[in-house]
Amino acid sequence: MNTKKKSNLKPVVLTAAFIAVCFTFGIFLGKLMGGGNSAENTDGTERFIRAIYGYIMLILSLWLTLMLHEGGHFVFGRLTGYKLLSFRIGSLTFVRKNGRTERKKFSVAGTGGQCIMIPPECPEPEKAPFMLYHAGGGILNLLTALICLPVGLLPENYWVKTALVMLGGVSVIQGLMNLIPMNIKLPNDGYNLLNMKKNVIDRVSVYKQLRLNGLLYEGKTYSEIPDELFELGRGGSFGSFSQMVKGAKYLEKLDFAGAAVQFEQCAGDDNPIDIYRYEAKAELMFCKIMEGAPAEEIDALYNKELEKYMKASGKTQIGKHRQLYAYQLLYKRDAQAAEAEYETAMKLRETYPIEGELRSELMLIDCIKKRGEMI
């Protein structure tokens, strides 16, 4: 009983500590930026210009620290034998394919960027290197802060000082936000590292997850991937990911009932990971449509909350338009709305980065189209 309470309180305590650090640093930053040429030595116009400049530096620092963070994963991943699959900032995605770099478009809710790499093949997955790749982003952020903050204290020039201190400050927050273990909407790098250090099952699960992603990027469909890579640790993000990819494998076989079993387990409101819960509900809705389920079951899933999520993620994810294509064509019987979803899906295939997943999606879209022709 006590153990359970400690387990529940730990993320709360760590999150509170992180907020306290950010608050303290914010006070320090405000005092620092107010020093030197203080407000009484400047007129209203200059203060306004400085405020705008500070805001611009903040926005630039946020983007730069994000790029440095993902770059840290890349650098430290390469140092430990990892191979680059894709590098993403916002929705702008670069994919390595056949020795060339191609520009694609993709995004994942709750993430500002991703550097996805595949670990070196290892006969004993629990011994595969993991520490530097996963910690690399936070490490480079903190190294940036160690350089920028001390140097930023030296110049008297307000404009240089502001740029350096802002970049250093945001880098501190970005580094801590990723290295202090937290599991809010998605587990962060520190949370994953802590679990991997303590639990060999988690190390193996992360290794399998990255290898599976690598095969998808290289063009393998779910049915072509070895079954052993689908068996991940139970619970949390690993359990949810395992259920989602198993469900995708059933979808490729057009076994919608089997897929629904996997997605239903992941779609429950007790799943603390928002992205998996929404993804599972969207796929479960699709399965029910393909199985000809009663209208009340489909309507219960496709509520305002899910509609909002699908609209946001559908900007780059072809799967959302496959689901909505089935919804409009086979359930609503709205040919015009269905055609719009189909056309959007066809446009997205040109920029979709995960080749194996794209092959699977196009096969399912063709299946929906053929069913629609039979109505």
> Secondary structure of the chain in the HEC alphabet?
CHHHHHHHHHHHHHHHHHHHHHHHHHHHHHHHHHCCCCHHHCCHHHHHHHHHHHHHHHHHHHHHHHHHHHHHHHHHHHHCCCEEEEEEECCEEEEEECCEEEEEECCCCCCCEEEEEECCCCCCHHHCCCHHHHHHHHHHHHHHHHHHHHHHCCCCCHHHHHHHHHHHHHHHHHHHHHHCCCECCCECHHHHHHHHHHCHHHHHHHHHHHHHHHHHHCCCCHHHCCHHHHCCCCCHHHHHHHHHHHHHHHHHCCCHHHHHHHHHHHCCCCCCCHHHHHHHHHHHHHHHHHHCCCHHHHHHHCCHHHHHHHHHHCCCCHHHHHHHHHHHHHHCCCHHHHHHHHHHHHHHCCCCCCHHHHHHHHHHHHHHHHHHHCC
Residues 148 and 277 in one domain: no
Residues 243 and 358 in one domain: yes
- pLDDT for the residue 33: 53
Length of the chain: 375
Nearest to 321 by CA among 338, 304, 333: 338
Spatial separation of the C-alpha atoms in residues 63 and 167, rounded to whole Å: 10
Burial 349-365 (b: 16+ CB within 10 A, else e): eeebbbbbbbbbbbebb
Spatial separation of the C-alpha atoms in residues 206 and 137, rounded to whole Å: 17
Residues 53 and 148 in one domain: yes
Residues 362 and 256 in one domain: yes
Residues 216 and 345 in one domain: yes
- pLDDT for the residue 36: 47
Residues 138 and 71 in one domain: yes
Asked, for residue 294, whether it belongs to a domain, the answer is yes
Provide block-wise average pLDDT over 10 residues at a time, the chain (375 residues): 40 56 58 50 75 87 95 97 94 87 88 92 92 96 94 81 89 92 82 90 92 94 93 76 94 96 90 88 97 96 95 94 98 97 96 96 97 89
Asked, for residue 190, whether it belongs to a domain, the answer is no
Asked, for residue 110, whether it belongs to a domain, the answer is no
Residues 259 and 148 in one domain: no
How many domains are contained in the chain? Answer: 2
Residues 206 and 271 in one domain: yes
Are the beta carbons of 136 and 77 closer than 8 angstroms? Answer: yes
pTM for the whole thing?
0.83
Asked, for residue 38, whether it belongs to a domain, the answer is yes
94-to-80, 146, 314 alpha-carbon distances in Å: 21, 29, 19
Are the beta carbons of 175 and 141 closer than 8 angstroms? Answer: yes
Asked, for residue 100, whether it belongs to a domain, the answer is no
Domain encompassing residue 228 = 199-373
- pLDDT for the residue 21: 58
Asked, for residue 97, whether it belongs to a domain, the answer is no
Are the beta carbons of 138 and 178 closer than 8 angstroms? Answer: yes
Q: Which residues contact 77 (CB under 8 A, 6 or more apart)?
A: 84, 115, 117, 132, 133, 136
Residues 276 and 342 in one domain: yes
Cβ neighbours of 260 (radius 10 Å)? 24
- pLDDT for the residue 28: 56
- pLDDT for the residue 235: 63
- pLDDT for the residue 262: 95
Residues 238 and 361 in one domain: yes
Residues 282 and 168 in one domain: no
Residues 47 and 13 in one domain: yes
